[in-house]
């Protein structure tokens, strides 16, 4: 009777322990979505840099020892419009559209983990836009107005290459870069000034006509 009771207690404790272990495992086993990377740090298996980047599948985060943060791999749309000066001294307005995202190569992921962890979508967009604008202005001085206007692909391809090289230290890259429109700059301020001067002249002529 006593032996049977001991066996029952042992089986019960084993079952409780098993259920507890499964619950703990389920609680700390995390699956990595395809549009995210997990940066794990704090444990003994984090590597020489103090962290490791996990993409795809899942991992068991050791309670107390490990911590992880999410690094988004979702592309961020970047739209830019700038007036740049060409080789022949003409000013041209270009509209550029592309996507900026963390690169999928392991080296890029590790750079992004160091530089971008904690930055939101707007911060990444602002960073990519600034670099893209600088590269567009630098590149434009090597092209004529007609080369950019009538062969936009010849400008878009090196622009993407130069931007990727500049963003590489951040683990970022631009994809699907397009130069959608090229044309003469529209100087709104100049047009408003001309309208203001014209309105003043018309008003003066009307006043002069009334005096007569």
Report whether 149 contacts 182 (CB < 8 A).
yes
Q: Hey, where are the domains in the chain?
A: 28-73, 76-188
Residue 153 burial by Cβ neighbours in a 10 Å radius (0-12, 13-18, 19+): exposed
Specify the pLDDT at position 5: 53
- Chain-centroid distance of CA 133 in Å reads 15
For the beta carbon of residue 86, count every other beta carbon within 10 angstroms: 19
The residues facing 98 across adjacent strands are 78
CA angle, 181 then 186 then 188, to 5°: 145
Q: Does domain 76-188 have CATH number 3.30.70.920?
A: no
Helix (H, G, I), strand (E, B) or coil at 57: coil
- As a whole number of Å, the end-to-end CA separation of the chain is 128
Specify the pLDDT at position 21: 46
Specify the pLDDT at position 65: 67
Burial of 103-136, coded b for 16+ CB within 10 Å and e otherwise, reads beeeebbbbbbeebeeeeeeebeebbbebbbebb
Specify the pLDDT at position 1: 53
Specify the pLDDT at position 19: 44
Give just the sign of the alpha carbon dihedral 187, 191, 194, 196. Answer: negative
Separation in Å, CA 19 to CA 7, 16, 25, 62, 77:
18, 5, 10, 18, 46
- Chain-centroid distance of CA 178 in Å reads 16
Tokens of 29: 């086993």
Q: What is the pTM of this model?
A: 0.70
Tens place of pLDDT for every residue, the chain, 212 residues?
A: 545 554 455 545 544 444 444 444 445 567 778 898 888 887 665 556 678 888 877 776 666 667 778 899 999 999 999 999 999 999 999 999 999 999 999 999 999 999 998 899 999 999 999 999 999 999 999 999 999 999 999 999 999 999 999 999 999 999 999 999 888 775 555 555 666 777 777 777 767 666 65
Specify the pLDDT at position 24: 46
């Amino acid at each position: 009777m006593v032996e049977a009771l001991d066996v029952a207690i042992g089986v019960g404790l084993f079952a409780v322990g098993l259920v507890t272990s499964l619950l703990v495992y389920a609680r700390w086993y995390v699956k990595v979505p395809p549009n995210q990377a997990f940066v794990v740090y704090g444990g003994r298996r984090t590597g020489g840099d103090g962290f490791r980047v996990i993409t795809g599948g899942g991992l068991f985060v050791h309670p107390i020892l490990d911590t992880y943060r999410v690094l988004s791999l979702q592309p961020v749309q970047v739209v830019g419009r700038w007036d740049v000066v060409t080789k022949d001294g003409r000013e041209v307005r270009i509209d550029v559209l592309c996507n900026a995202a963390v690169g999928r190569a392991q080296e890029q992921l590790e750079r992004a983990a160091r530089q971008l962890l904690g930055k939101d979508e707007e911060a990444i967009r602002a960073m990519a836009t600034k670099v893209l604008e600088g590269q567009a202005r630098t590149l434009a001085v090597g092209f004529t107005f007609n080369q950019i206007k009538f062969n936009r692909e010849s400008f878009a391809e090196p622009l993407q290459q130069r931007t990727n090289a500049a963003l590489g230290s951040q683990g970022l890259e631009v994809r699907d870069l397009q130069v959608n429109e090229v044309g003469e700059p529209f100087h709104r301020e100049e047009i408003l000034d001309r309208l203001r001067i014209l309105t003043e002249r018309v008003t003066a002529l009307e006043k002069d006509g009334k005096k007569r």
